[in-house]
Amino acid sequence: MTEKYLAQPDLDFIAQVRELGGDTLKKCYQCATCSVACPIAPEDSPFPRKEMIAASWGLKDKLITSGDIWLCHHCGDCTDLCPRGAAPGDVLSAVRSAAIEDYAQPKFLAQAVNDPSKLPFILGIQAVWFAIFAFITMNAGDFMTKVFKYVPFFDWSHAHEGEHVIAQADFFSTWFVDMTFVPTAIFVVAVFFLSLKKFITDIHENAMLEGKTDKTSIDYKELFQALLRVVPIILKHQKFNECTTNKDRATPHMMVLYSFIGLFIVTSIGFVLLYIFHAPGPYSQLNPLKWLANISGVALVIGSGLMIKNRMANEEQKTAYKDWYILWVVFGLGATGMLTEMARLAHLAGISYFFYFLHLIAIWNLFLFLPFSKMAHLVYRTTAMTYAEYSNRK
């Protein structure tokens, strides 16, 4: 990688960074104000000036293999003080988007999720898929019962006469949802595993070449210990709070993070209750699981709503299509979840199913494209921060 990493300017990469929101990169005249202004850049080889130089030269391999681009939290302090209006925070954000596209495979999914012209196609496929599953759930219960009668846990013979049909509908509904999301989850974990394996190797090689570490190899046990030290920093949003310009981003960002943690706990427990303890929902409103789900849902709607509002209010900060895409998917996920719940409580079955249909599309959008969309920053940034901690890059 070394020769290419140091010397090959990539004009397509410059165009890509510009398109992803870094169209100001050529304005930089390398004064280094940004590196001095950045409150979280390390003293040794600080960012983002060196990244601005590399970006304007189109040094793609040098940039996308750098852990430093992920240490930036896009606070905007440097952008505010840049005398040339080169918006280094936006350029780094665009470089991170390019890095996600480069690491995640298969590439066509990364390109699809970042191309607005493909959006109707993506949503159309997902809508048709869930429409088929809704049709089967509602109409083909008896047929599917015969097809699946040999599956051991597929047994509701204990149900009474009237409950029989409901049990079928609930089972098919859950079964088809899981049939969609379990393979999706396996796919996402596999994509992340492969891309992170390469990412860790690359940022380590980059750090050695640039003299940012004295470690000559990666000790995964130490790396894991570094992760344990980094997790509280992320949970407290410590780095966000060191910034000045966009400090108000920390609270909504935290709300979204914690709501995802809450919803992950709810989904995991629900899965275990259904398949191990054969205790399907819906659960009582007094159930702690329901409490956690509702609080997380409300936090998700408010947090993502505030993030959208902040983005709209901040005209100076560039917001590329992929930023808007993920923000609206997250907001849509929370909003449709809450609307489904409210319609169900109001006994509006048809409306509840409609919102649930939209909710499933939002969930699938979020999870299927997790390794390819802006959301992947959660994983890449955590890894880069962990590596920085491991390599004593303070």
Contact set with ligand SF4 (CB under 6 A): 28-34, 37-38, 40-41, 47-49, 52, 72-78, 82, 84, 86, 88-89, 92, 243
Sign of CA dihedral 24, 25, 28, 33: positive
Closest contact distance (angstroms) between CB of 87 and ligand SF4 is: 8
3 or 43: CB nearest ligand SF4 = 43
Closest contact distance (angstroms) between CB of 359 and ligand SF4 is: 34
37 or 320: CB nearest ligand SF4 = 37
68 or 102: CB nearest ligand SF4 = 68
73 or 204: CB nearest ligand SF4 = 73
77 or 102: CB nearest ligand SF4 = 77
Closest contact distance (angstroms) between CB of 21 and ligand SF4 is: 13
Closest contact distance (angstroms) between CB of 213 and ligand SF4 is: 20
38 or 326: CB nearest ligand SF4 = 38
Closest contact distance (angstroms) between CB of 78 and ligand SF4 is: 3
Closest contact distance (angstroms) between CB of 255 and ligand SF4 is: 21
145 or 310: CB nearest ligand SF4 = 310
Residues 116-151 as b/e (b if ≥16 CB within 10 A, e otherwise) read: eeeeeebeeebeeebeebbebbeeebeebeeeeeee
Closest contact distance (angstroms) between CB of 281 and ligand SF4 is: 42
Closest contact distance (angstroms) between CB of 243 and ligand SF4 is: 6
74 or 359: CB nearest ligand SF4 = 74
Q: Rounded distance, CA 372 to CA 107, Å? A: 9
